[in-house]
Amino acid sequence: MITAKKHRFIFWIFILSVFFLGVSLLSVATGEVSLTPLQLGRALLNQSSAQNELILWQFRAPHIVMSIIVGGSLAMSGAVFQRLTNNDLADSSILGINAGASLGAVLFLGLTQLGVSLSQNIWLPVCALIGALLTAGLVFKISQDQSPLRLLLSGVAVGTLLNGLILLIQLQVSQDDFDKVLVWLSGSFWNLDWPYMLILGLIGCLLLPFGLLALHNSDLILLGRRNAMSLGLDYDHKRRQLLIFAIALAGIGVAGGGAISFVGLMAPHIARLLIGNKAKYNLPLTILVGINVLLLADFVASHLFAPSELPVGLVVAMITVPYFIVLMLKTTR
C-alpha cells in the first residue's frame, strides 16, 4: 500500500517535472527571436552572440525563475493555510492577505512618490510582508473561534475593505503613478532584475528550514485540537508556526508577482486529486503544480498577443477562476 503511493508520488513528480522542463524550454526558445537548441546551448554556456545571451539571461530566464519563486511560494502558502484552517477554500487571496500585501506595496509606491527615497528592491517586499502580516493578524483576530466559515467571511470582508483603501490611494496619485500601481495590482512580474529575484529567493531559502520545522508532524493538526494534543502535539504552538510560515510565503509571492490570486487555492487541490492529503506527498506536488501554473500562464501572457504582453495575473485568473467556481459549487452542495 505504502509503496503503491510512493510509486504514484514519484510518477507525478516525474510528469510535473517533465512538464516544467518542456514549458521552460519552449519559453526560452521561442519569442520575437527564435533560438535553436544549438544556439540555446551555446548561450547557456556563454559562448553565443551577445544578443542571444542578452535574450536568454536578461529577458527569458528571469521569467522562469520568477515563476518558480511566485508559483512555489503562493502554492505552498495556500496549502498551509488550507491545513491550518481545515478549509479547502482557504488561500491567501481569499483570506484578504494578498490585499494586505498589495496595500503595503501600494503605500510604499506612494511614499516613494512623496520623495522618500528607499531602495525598491528591499523595501517593497518588506512592506508587502508587513502588510500581509498585519492583515492576517486582523483577520484571525476577528474570527476568534476560527471556524472555517467565519474565517473566510472575515477574510473576504477585510479584503474588500483593503481593496477599497487601495482604490482610494490609486485615485489620489497622478496618472503616471496610477499606471504603476495598476501594473502591480493586475498581477505581473513587474521587476525581473536578478538582484531583486535573488533577494526574494534568499528570503524564501531562509524560510525553508523554519517551514520544514513547522510542517513536521503537521498532519496531526487535521485531527482537530483535542486529538492532536492527546497525541502529544503542542497544537497552538504548531498552528502559530504554520501561520507565520504561510503569511511570509504569501508576502514573497505578492512581492514578486503583485496581486496574483487563486494559485494558492488551486495548486493544493490538484495535488490532492493526484496524491491525497498527506503533507509528505501533497506539499511537494503542490509546489510543482503552482510553479507549472505560473510558468504556463506567463508563457501564454507573453505569447498570445505578441509583441504586446498581458499581465500574468490576468491569465492566471482566466485559468484558475473557473476551477474555483466549480470547486465552490461542489463544496456548498
Partner 1 sequence: MKQQLKYIFGGFVIGVVVLFSLISFGGGKVQAASSGTHTFKAANGSIKVPDHPKRIVVRTYMGQVLALKGNVVGATKWDLGNPFISSAVRHKIKDVGTPMNAEAVLKLKPDLIITDTEADVKSMSKIAPTVLLPYTKMRNINAVTTRFGQLLNKQKEAKAWQKKFKQQAAKDRQRLDKAGIAKDKTVGIYELQDGKMYVFGTNFGRGGQALTTGLNFTLPKKVAEVDKGAGFKQVSIEALPQYDADYMFFTNYSSKGSGSQELKDLKANPVWKKLPAVKQGHVIQLPFQKMYYYDPYATMGQLKLVTDALLKAGK
Residues that bind partner 1 (CB under 8 A): 31-33, 46, 50-51, 53-59, 61, 65, 174-176, 179-180, 183, 190-194, 197-198, 201-202, 204-206, 208-213, 216, 306-309
Quote the CA–CA distance of 202 and 260 in Å, as a whole number.
21
Q: Which three cell numbers stand for residue 291?
A: 510553479
- Give how far Cα 161 sits from Cα of 165, 166, 261, 305, Å: 6, 9, 17, 34
Q: How far is the CB of 54 from partner 1 (least distance, A)?
A: 5
Q: How far is the CB of 137 from partner 1 (least distance, A)?
A: 26
Q: How far is the CB of 50 from partner 1 (least distance, A)?
A: 4
Asked if 208 and 73 count as a contact pair (C-beta separation under 8 A), the reply is no
Closer to partner 1 by CB, 143 or 191: give it. 191
Q: Which three cell numbers stand for residue 37?
A: 537548441
Closer to partner 1 by CB, 181 or 267: give it. 181
In eight-state DSSP terms, residue 121 is H
167-175 contacts at long range (C-beta below 8 A, 24 or more positions apart): 169/106, 169/107, 169/110, 170/106, 172/110, 173/110, 173/113, 174/113
Closer to partner 1 by CB, 115 or 333: give it. 115
Closer to partner 1 by CB, 148 or 284: give it. 284
Q: Which three cell numbers stand for residue 191?
A: 521587476
Q: How far is the CB of 27 from partner 1 (least distance, A)?
A: 12
Q: How far is the CB of 206 from partner 1 (least distance, A)?
A: 7
Q: How far is the CB of 139 from partner 1 (least distance, A)?
A: 28
Closer to partner 1 by CB, 46 or 144: give it. 46
Asked if 74 and 312 count as a contact pair (C-beta separation under 8 A), the reply is no
Closer to partner 1 by CB, 86 or 113: give it. 113
Question: What is the end-to-end Cα distance of the chain in Å, rounded?
Answer: 32
Q: Write the Ramachandran bin of 50: left for phi over 0, alpha for psi from -120 to 50, otherwise beta.
A: alpha
